[in-house]
């Protein structure tokens, strides 16, 4: 059930309750109009909050992706003096993480606003994916650049 449906049902229920408690038909109509206007305003406020949350989240994710990109570039410079086999292994793992990062960025850029319930699900899953990427990058770029950091 969407927010619109819920608010409409609540508004309709309020309208019926008020409608039944009023004395005159004019009072009933005025109260019903007020209830609908209030429900519409609440719906509009919920929409604005949803749009603002999506925009704020996208900015936060762009910042996280920029930070991980910077970390990857710095790590690439750091491994430039490693033995060829070690360097190649690090570069392979780094390329995998770059691809995951790219996929996450695309997923965020492609997000279509399709309701607050779906947004909550999307954001929860996306947060987990982002945390996994950040952890993998942190594990790879840890100061100990021995072979054990290459394990997944």
Q: Is the pLDDT of residue 57 over 80?
A: yes
| DSSP state letters, 56-73 | HHHHHHHHHHHHHHHHHH
Residue 22, helix vs strand vs coil: coil
The per-residue pLDDT for range 78-121, each reduced to its tens digit, is 888 889 888 899 999 999 999 999 999 999 999 998 888 999 99
Q: Are 97 and 133 in contact (CB under 8 A)?
A: yes
């Amino acid at each position: 059930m969407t927010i619109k449906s819920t608010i409409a049902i609540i508004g309709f229920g309020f309208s019926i309750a008020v409608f039944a408690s009023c004395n005159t038909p004019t009072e009933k109509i005025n109260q019903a109009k007020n209830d609908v206007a209030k429900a519409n305003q609440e719906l509009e406020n919920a929409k604005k909050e949803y749009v603002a949350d999506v925009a704020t989240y996208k900015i936060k994710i762009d910042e996280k992706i920029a930070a991980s990109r910077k970390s990857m570039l710095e790590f690439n410079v750091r491994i430039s003096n490693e033995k060829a086999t070690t360097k190649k292994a690090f570069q392979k793992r780094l390329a995998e993480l770059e691809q995951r990062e790219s996929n996450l960025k695309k997923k965020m850029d492609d997000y279509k606003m399709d309701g607050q319930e779906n947004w909550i699900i999307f954001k929860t899953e996306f947060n987990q994916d982002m945390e996994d990427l950040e952890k993998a990058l942190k594990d790879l770029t840890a100061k100990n650049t021995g072979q054990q950091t290459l394990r997944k």
